A and B are shown apart, each in its own frame.
Chain A
Amino acid sequence: MSNDALFEIKDLEVSYGSIAAIKGISLEVRKGEIVTILGANGAGKTTTMRTISQLLKAKSGSITFKGQELTQLPAHKIVQLGISHSPEGRRVFGILTVEENLMLGAFSRSKMNKETLKWVYELFPRLEERRKQLAGTLSGGEQQMLAIGRSLMSDPEMLLLDEPSLGIAPILVKAIYEQIKEIAKRDVTVLLVEQNAKAALKLADRGYVLEVGKIVFSGTSAELLSSPKIQEAYLGKKRH
Chain B
Amino acid sequence: MDIFLQQLANGLTIGSMFALVALGYTMVYGVMKLINFAHGDMVAASAFVGLTIYTHVMGQATSLFAVIAIFLLSAASMACVGIILERVAYRPLRTAPRLSAVVSALGASMIIQNGIMLIWGPRMRIFPELVPQVYWDFGGVVISLIQVIILILSLVLMVALYLFVEKTRMGAAIRASSIDQDAARLMGINVNNVIALIFIIGSSLGAVGGLFIGLYYRGITFNMGWQYGLYAFIAAIMGGIGNIPGAMLGGMLLGLFNAFISGYVSSTWADAFTFILLIVILIVRPTGILGERVAEKV
A binds B: yes
**Chain A residues in contact with chain B, CB under 8 A?**
53, 55, 74-80, 84-85, 87, 89, 91-96, 100, 103-105, 107-108, 134, 136-140, 143, 150-151, 154
Tell me the complex Cα distance, A79–B185, Å: 9
Query: B179 an interface residue at 8 Å Cβ cutoff?
Result: yes
- Whether B179 pairs with A134 at a CB distance below 8 angstroms is no
CA of A41 to CA of B182, assembled, Å: 21
Which B residues touch A103, using CB under 8 A? 172
B80 part of interface (Cβ distance < 8 Å): no
Closest chain A residue to B190, Cβ basis: A76
Whether B294 sits at the interface, judged by CB under 8 Å, is: yes
**A100–B191 alpha-carbon span in the complex (Å):** 18
Within 8 A of A (CB), among B168-227: 169, 172-173, 175-176, 179-180, 182-191
B243 to chain A, nearest CB (A): 10
How many residue pairs between the two chains, A and B, have CB atoms under 8 Å in the bound complex? 85
In the complex with contacts A76-B190, A87-B186, A91-B182, A104-B172 CB distance below 8 A: yes
Whether the Cβ atoms of B294 and A134 lie closer than 8 Å is yes
Alpha-carbon separation in the docked complex, A103 to B169 (Å): 9
Known: A76-B189, A76-B191, A107-B172. A91 touches B183 (CB 8 A): yes
Q: Are A100 and B182 within 8 A (Cβ)?
A: no
Closest to A142 in B: B297
Report chain A residues within 8 Å CB of B173: 104, 107
Q: Please list 19 pairs of residues, one from A and one from B, whose beta carbons are closer than 8 Å in the complex, sorted by A's number.
A: A53-B186, A55-B186, A75-B186, A76-B189, A78-B188, A79-B187, A93-B175, A93-B176, A93-B183, A94-B296, A95-B179, A95-B293, A104-B172, A104-B173, A104-B189, A108-B188, A137-B297, A139-B297, A154-B187
Q: Does B118 contact A (CB under 8 A)?
A: no
| B64 on interface, CB distance cutoff 8 Å | no
Nearest chain-A residue to B294 (Cβ)?
A136
For the complex, give the distance between the alpha carbons of A76 and B298 in Å: 25
Q: Which of B191, B292, B294, B296 has the most CB of A within 10 A?
A: B296
Residues of the B chain whose Cβ atoms lie less than 8 Å from the Cβ of A55:
182, 185-186
Take A96-B175, A96-B179 as given contacts and tell me if A80 and B188 are in contact as well, using a CB distance cutoff of 8 Å: yes
CA distance A91 to B177 in the complex (A): 12
Chain B residue contacts of A74, Cβ below 8 A: 190
Q: Which residues of B contact A87 (CB under 8 A)?
A: 182-183, 186
Q: How large is the interface on B (under 10, 10 to 19, 20 to 34, 35 or more residues)?
A: 20 to 34
Expressed in whole angstroms, the minimum distance between the Cβ of A167 and any Cβ of chain B is 9
Contact B188 A95 (CB under 8 A): no
Which residues does chain B contribute within 8 Å of A92, judged by CB atoms? Answer: 183
**CB-contact partner of B169 in A75, A80, A107, under 8 A:** A107
Which residue in B172, B188, B293 is a CB contact (below 8 Å) of A76?
Answer: B188
Q: Which residues on B are within 8 Å of A, measured CB to CB?
A: 169, 172-173, 175-176, 179-180, 182-191, 292-298
For residue A76, which residues in chain B have a CB less than 8 angstroms away from its CB?
A: 185, 187-191
Q: How far is the CA of A104 from the CA of B295 in the complex (A)?
A: 20
Complex Cα spacing A140 to B175, Å: 22
Closest-by-CB residue of B relative to A106 is B187
Contacts of B169 in A (CB 8 A): 107
Contacts of B187 in A (CB 8 A): 76, 79, 104-105, 107-108, 150, 154
Bound Cα distance from A80 to B297, whole angstroms: 29
Most buried by B among A91, A93, A138, A151: A93
Instruction: Name which residue of chain A comes closest to B180, CB basis.
Output: A91
| Cα A73 to Cα B227 with chains together (Å) | 44
With a CB–CB cut-off of 8 A, which chain A residues contact B175?
Answer: 93, 96
The answer for the CA separation of A151 and B186 in the assembled complex, in Å, is: 9
Q: Which residues of A contact B182 (CB under 8 A)?
A: 55, 75, 87, 91
Shortest beta-carbon distance from A200 to chain B in Å: 21
Choose among A53, A100, A134 the residue that contacts B172 (Cβ–Cβ < 8 A).
Answer: A100
Interface centre among A74, A136, A138 (most CB of B within 10 A): A136
Task: Report if A107-B294 is in contact (Cβ < 8 Å); known contacts: A87-B182, A87-B183.
Answer: no
**How many Å from the CB of A83 to the closest CB on chain B?**
10
- Tell me the smallest distance from the CB of A171 to a CB of chain B, in Å: 19
Contact A154 B294 (CB under 8 A): no
What is the CB-to-nearest-CB distance from B95 to chain A, in angstroms, rounded to a whole number? 12
A169 to chain B, nearest CB (A): 14
A85 to B182, CA, bound (A): 11
Do residues B297 and A94 form an inter-chain contact, with CB atoms below 8 A?
yes
Chain A residue with Cβ nearest B296: A94
Which of B176, B188, B292 is the most central at the interface, judged by chain A CB atoms within 10 Å of its CB?
Answer: B188
User: Which residues of chain B are near A105, meaning CB under 8 Å?
Assistant: 187
Given contacts A104-B172, A107-B172, 17 further A-B contacts (CB under 8 A): A77-B188, A84-B186, A89-B298, A91-B183, A91-B186, A93-B175, A94-B296, A95-B179, A96-B175, A100-B172, A107-B189, A134-B293, A134-B294, A136-B296, A137-B297, A138-B297, A154-B187
